């Protein structure tokens, strides 16, 4: 048809011919899109591509596109190709809700992979509940939530923070603790859980220092000096850092410049991964720690294959991988398996099918979706190496099941999330009552 058209153009052609050709082209295009709409399953990608969070979220958008590409190479799902619908919520929390609504109602996506910050997740929750769709959330978060429409593939506090503190207590014999974080919900809740946990282990109030800083804090002189002072009492001190994203670079630079070495006061971070370290000169940071469920440096055939394919896809042989990316890999795999199990993309059917689905993670284990919509994950502690990668120095013996509700906090220790038996996200095991749909 196209050759016909070019052929026509080469001649001085009449109005009627031209009209016919255009009509044909329009019809042809309509036909193509019509067929396309029937044949694809749409997958929504809700990650910020501009604004503050673009720094972290752009990679996750690329990850989902990469996974869709790989799945389509294998023939798609249920015999249909997958089609990504990418929107940009621009690090603007209300816009997340608008874009989620657009994805579900206008683009008719079957599932959404997205969000990074807890506040963006909270802002889209009502939309997913109202329109009954599925969200896969790939980032470590503060817990205290279990929603029917959300699947949490990142770490809950008991899959990251608590094992990290255990490691410091046992292996590094830490007695004094600085809990430093950015001032928002994730660090505040995590630190509340950690404080309760440390006290239950016999750490006294005067041996815990809690410090919050604003987003993007760049002048760390006072705080680093305070940490140095707090750590010079002779008792072994460590910093547990929930400092978010951009503020980390100046924080680590100041640590390095003031000469705080990991052998004196180690810093264990929950938000610093390979991507963040790519922007820092890591030589002064040698030996500082991070706790994650995945590191790029972990030697496993699945991981090596993934890194190779990812670097080929992004055409960048130095492109790093990180923990939230792995969470999307697992989540995507679980969704595909669930859809294939029920042979449908209907939200209700997939939501019911997901708990119990297993998927290989990239570190040699098999993660399982639990009734509380969290997954089982291994926990690794890595030390920063001079090349910006991590060297795993400790790992949990098996996989840790994610707790939706923390056992350390008074308000939530009796709650469980169970969407299989109890059909409830916050079931109270003491009173045997469901506290309502979701939190």
Nearer to another protein, 383 or 408 (CB): 383
Residue 181 CB, nearest approach to another protein (Å): 11
Residue 287 CB, nearest approach to another protein (Å): 5
Grouping H, G, I as helix, E, B as strand and the rest as coil, residue 38 is helix
Within 77-210, residue ranges assigned H as helices are: 93-101, 118-131, 161-171, 185-200
Going by C-alpha positions, the residue among 262, 305, 283, 268 that lies closest to residue 380 is 268
Ranges of beta strands (E only) in 232-356 are 237-242, 267-269, 289-292
Going by C-alpha positions, the residue among 110, 164, 113 that lies closest to residue 393 is 164
Distance CA 275, CA 272 (A): 8
Residue 385 CB, nearest approach to another protein (Å): 9
Residue 144 CB, nearest approach to another protein (Å): 22
Residue 312 CB, nearest approach to another protein (Å): 18
Nearer to another protein, 53 or 111 (CB): 53
Segment holding 176, helix H or strand E: strand 176-182
Q: How far is CA 110 from the centre of its chain?
A: 19
Residue 51 CB, nearest approach to another protein (Å): 8
Nearer to another protein, 22 or 232 (CB): 232
Q: Residues with Cβ < 8 Å from 187, sequence gap 6 or more?
A: 181, 212, 242, 243, 244
Nearer to another protein, 100 or 247 (CB): 247
Nearer to another protein, 223 or 370 (CB): 223
Distance CA 2, CA 173 (A): 74
Tokens 């959330």 correspond to what residue? 137
Q: Which residues bind another protein (CB under 8 A)?
A: 49-52, 54-55, 58-59, 171-172, 183, 211-214, 216-219, 221-223, 225-226, 228-229, 232-234, 246, 249-250, 253-254, 256-259, 262-263, 266, 275-276, 278-281, 284, 287, 383, 386, 391, 393
Q: Residues with Cβ < 8 Å from 22, sequence gap 6 or more?
A: none
**218 touches 247 (CB < 8 A):** yes
Nearer to another protein, 61 or 374 (CB): 61
Token pair recorded at residue 57: 């979220």
Residue 249 CB, nearest approach to another protein (Å): 5
Nearer to another protein, 144 or 246 (CB): 246
């Amino acid at each position: 048809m196209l050759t016909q058209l070019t052929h026509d153009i080469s001649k001085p052609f009449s109005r009627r011919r031209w009209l016919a050709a255009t009509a044909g082209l329009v019809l042809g295009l309509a036909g193509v899109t019509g067929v396309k709409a029937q044949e694809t399953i749409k997958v929504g990608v809700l990650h910020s591509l501009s604004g503050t969070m673009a720094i972290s979220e752009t990679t996750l958008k690329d990850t989902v596109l990469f996974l869709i590409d790989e799945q389509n190479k294998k023939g798609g799902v249920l015999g249909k190709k997958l089609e990504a619908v990418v929107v940009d919520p621009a690090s603007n929390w209300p816009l997340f809700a608008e874009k989620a609504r657009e994805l579900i109602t206008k683009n008719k996506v079957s599932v959404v992979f997205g969000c990074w910050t807890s506040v963006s997740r909270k802002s889209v929750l009502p939309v997913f509940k109202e329109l009954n769709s599925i969200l896969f959330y790939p980032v470590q978060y503060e817990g205290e939530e279990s929603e029917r429409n959300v699947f949490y593939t990142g770490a809950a506090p008991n899959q990251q923070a608590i094992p990290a503190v255990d490691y410091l207590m046992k292996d590094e014999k830490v007695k004094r603790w600085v809990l430093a974080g950015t001032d928002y919900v994730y660090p505040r809740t995590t630190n509340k859980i950690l404080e309760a946990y440390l006290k239950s282990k016999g750490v006294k109030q005067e041996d815990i220092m809690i410090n919050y800083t604003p987003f993007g804090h760049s002048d760390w002189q006072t705080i680093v000096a305070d940490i140095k002072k707090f750590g010079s009492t002779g008792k072994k001190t460590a910093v547990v850092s929930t400092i978010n994203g951009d503020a980390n670079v100046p924080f680590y630079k100041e640590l390095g410049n003031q000469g705080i070495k990991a052998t004196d006061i180690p810093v264990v971070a929950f938000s610093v991964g390979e991507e963040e370290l790519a922007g820092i000169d890591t030589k002064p940071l040698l030996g500082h720690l991070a706790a994650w469920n995945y590191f790029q440096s972990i030697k496993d055939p699945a991981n090596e294959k993934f890194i190779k394919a990812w670097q080929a896809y992004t055409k960048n042989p130095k492109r790093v991988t990180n923990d939230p990316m792995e969470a999307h890999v697992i989540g995507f795999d679980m969704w595909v398996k669930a859809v294939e199990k029920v042979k449908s993309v209907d939200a209700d059917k997939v939501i019911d099918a997901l708990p119990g689905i297993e998927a290989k993670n990239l570190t040699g284990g098999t993660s399982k979706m639990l009734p509380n919509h969290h997954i089982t994950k291994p926990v690794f502690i890595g030390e920063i190496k001079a090349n910006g990668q991590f060297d795993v120095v400790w790992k949990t013996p098996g996989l840790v099941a994610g707790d939706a509700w923390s056992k350390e906090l008074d308000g939530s220790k009796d709650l469980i999330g169970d969407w299989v038996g109890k059909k409830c996200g916050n079931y109270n095991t003491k009173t045997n009552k469901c506290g309502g749909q979701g939190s």
